[in-house]
Structure 1
Amino acid sequence: MEESDFISYVGDYRVHDSTIVEILDDGQGLIITLHGMEGENLTLYLRDVLTINMHKAEGMMLYAISEYKYPAPYRKFIFANWRDNDDAFLEVIAKDFVLEPELIMPVEG
């Protein structure tokens, strides 16, 4: 994969250092439960999944989730394993990515 194929990191700071607890395929997409370092549970929804490539992903501690170039209307998401010497991985090609609960910044004014 070319470094120039990188688009951006997705999710917010809570994804960094979180652990994948569960991955469910509901027939419409993937529902991924993360446990964050602050003790909170987060839910990722990946909708209209085209492909899933994974190995021992449940229990994997995440460094980040990165988006890479992929032909529209799909998007490629790579879940980066925090532990370099661990062979667990997760890559998903899907149309949409939603993180809940969404982090809402207070409105100043």
Structure 2
Amino acid sequence: MSYKTIRIYNETFDGLDRLCSTYKASKTELTAAMCEYFINTGIDPNDPSDVTSEVKKLKNQLISFIRTQEKDKLNPLIKKQDLLIDRFMNYMEEETVNKKFMMELAQAIVDKLKK
């Protein structure tokens, strides 16, 4: 493998040294990794807002997904649950009325038999 030489500013060289120390990589390895990163992600290194716009786009996609799930899945589920609760409560009220009526009827029969 052959090497080429590039010229960079002293401040950039110092920054590269710090990055190499942080990531425990040589300047050659780190430069190759940076190139691969920008090639694979398509991010423009001269436009720092590019990353921000990507994050915003992902955030909007996530919010859209959540809203769709809420509309298509959660809201119908909540409506069904409310309907089942209403039906159950009506059934329990009817049963209570029926039991009360049956108890009153039984008590009336017992009272008549005692006479």
TM-score, length basis structure 1: 0.20
More strand by share: 1
Where relative contact order (Cα < 8 A, 6+ residues apart) is larger, the structure is 1
Q: Higher helix share goes to which structure?
A: 2
TM-score between the two structures when normalised by the length of structure 2: 0.19
